[in-house]
Amino acid sequence: MQDSDDEAHGRESEALWIATYTDWLQRAQTGDHSRVVVEIEQRQGQVSVPPHTQALWNYAKSIALFVGRRTREALVTVEEIIAAGRMADDDALVALGLAAQARLLNRTGSPLEALYSYGQAESLLRRNVNDIEDSLTWPGALVELFACALDLDSRERADNLLKLCRRFPEERLLAVERLAIAHNTAEVRLWDALRTARVPPFSVNAAVLEEAVAAAGEANRLAEKIGIVVAQADPLLWQGIWHAWCGDPRLGVSLLDPILEDGAQHLDTMRLTGAASRLHGLRRAGQQDRLREVAERESHIAAEAARSRSPAGVAYLWERAVTEHPELGGSGSQLGHLLRLWEQRDRERVQFAHDLLELRITHDDLESKRQELDDLARRDPLTGVLNRRGLDPLLRASARLPIGETAALLLIDVDRLKEVNDSRGHLAGDEYLQTVARALTGESRQDDVVARIGGDEFVVLAYLSPNATEQPQAIGERIRTRIAHNTGGALSVSVGVATRTQPVNPREWTAAADRSMYESKRIGGNKVHAVMLPAAGEPEAQISG
């Protein structure tokens, strides 16, 4: 009963923590970023939460720091997400941090570094793609990867990631994650629609623009449902964009004016798209004086668009160029043709960068598979512990440790395993060997090494610090007792321990442990016998027998 109560409390706490995260995420993007950072740091110092919740909190913190122009701190925070994911052995958390890192790097003028971080994240996704549907943390990572692919102007990758996102039922995605998908889909469809306005016959793709407006409407409905405000999904903003390009341009300008004149810093890339749409609406409405006045006031936006090199920035620069030089929109305009060639070349540059990214991801995948094969070659297939090939380099390194550093080599032989095989069959014997391996792993410390080096022989390589309270023989006794317990007394082991405190020949060390183990067997088995390796020219010290 207590366990079920604890589980229910855990679920309630998790729901509360996620609700808190949602609140932080919304406030981080709407002007309350400094307070959000303080609250997250206070909460992180007060409560212990699961790694994926901690990662989400740090994600919200990184956004708050970035909005507050504390980019360096934001990058440090996403590095904490990556480190936490690696410590938790959770590839999804690592991918979330890498994708967030890529977006930050891209938005601060480091596109090649951004591509490298994104490539590492996508490599992790490809490695885990068959397991993502059962994961608690991959949904959020996929949403961030999707947004990152859009930021990097990689439509094909974004489309593939969107398909993966949609493999999850709605209940598996947080409301803010569903909102992010809808909003990012709206933005990319909008950019697609406006791209056609820069090539003959210089008209927006109305059908695609309608898709963008519909996606933005879905984002706004989701935002209202969870009680947050998302300025980029403001229906008035999207109505203004629609009318500026396809409907009543005067109405479009009247809707966009108050949104853009308010500063609109919180609109992010939609600020540039909204500004481009206003220029287009003024031009369509024939309001030339107002058009020139707005263009003069927006020189800072032009500089921002030139720096961003984003689809939104290109859309704004084109509208501004046509505003200042209407002849660019003419079918015979040579300068207009050159500008279109420049955009095409820029897209080719982006494609080249993504081709390099694909090569990098392929290289990382091959390297990962090589490491997996190498790891398999170094492990015993039955028990999963190291085999002799995996043990040997570690044994040699331990044998070379300098004077004063202590390491113990424990050789464990399963007593009478042949009798078990003869009476119960080899399958039963294999199960016992797996039980022994689990017992050895369970009794070993983090830095110890466990290996199976023969049919019924195992090794534990134990490192002892100068202030260690447990002696090597005691480690052997603990192992012997655990194996007897885990097998219900059906098996016993003979343990030989050889301890070195100065550099030693690995073969001599192994031979000493082997002699010690056979001494345990000689006196009846189910014993631990330990020796201390001597200095050169001294006899071997018998610790027990």
How far apart, in whole angstroms, are the C-alpha atoms of residue 168 and residue 393? 45
Residue with tokens 């009680």: 227
Residue 412: per-residue pLDDT = 94
Q: How far apart are CA 532 and CA 541, in angstroms?
A: 5
Does position 361 have pLDDT exceeding 70, yes or no? no
CATH class as words, domain 388-542:
alpha beta
pLDDT tens track for 176-197: 788 888 888 888 888 888 877 7
- The continuous run of DSSP H or E covering 311 comes out as helix 311-324
* pLDDT on residue 498: 94
Question: Would you state the pLDDT for residue 347?
Answer: 62
Burial of 123 (0-12, 13-18, 19+ CB in 10 A): buried
pLDDT on residue 287: 93
- Burial code (b: 16+ CB inside 10 Å, e: under 16) for 197-225 equals bbeeebebbeebbebbbebbbbbbebbee
Q: Is 247 exposed, middle or buried (0-12, 13-18, 19+ CB in 10 A)?
A: middle
pLDDT of the residue at 493: 93
Q: Is the dihedral of CA 31, 35, 38, 41 positive or negative?
A: negative
Is the model's pLDDT at 4 over the cut of 60? no
Would you state the pLDDT for residue 509?
Answer: 94
Share of the chain above pLDDT 90, in %: 25
Q: Helix, strand, or coil here: 159?
A: helix
**Is pLDDT at 12 greater than 60 in this prediction?**
no
Q: Which residues contact 277 (CB under 8 A, 6 or more apart)?
A: 240, 241, 244, 245, 252, 256, 319
CB 40 within 8 A of CB 61: yes
Quote the pLDDT of residue 5: 45
| Lookup: tokens for 105 | 């790097």
Domain boundaries, the chain: 12-149, 388-542
Instruction: Summarize pLDDT for 451-497 with one digit per residue, the tens.
Output: 999 889 999 999 887 766 678 888 899 999 999 988 888 889 999 99
Domain range 12-149, CATH class: mainly alpha
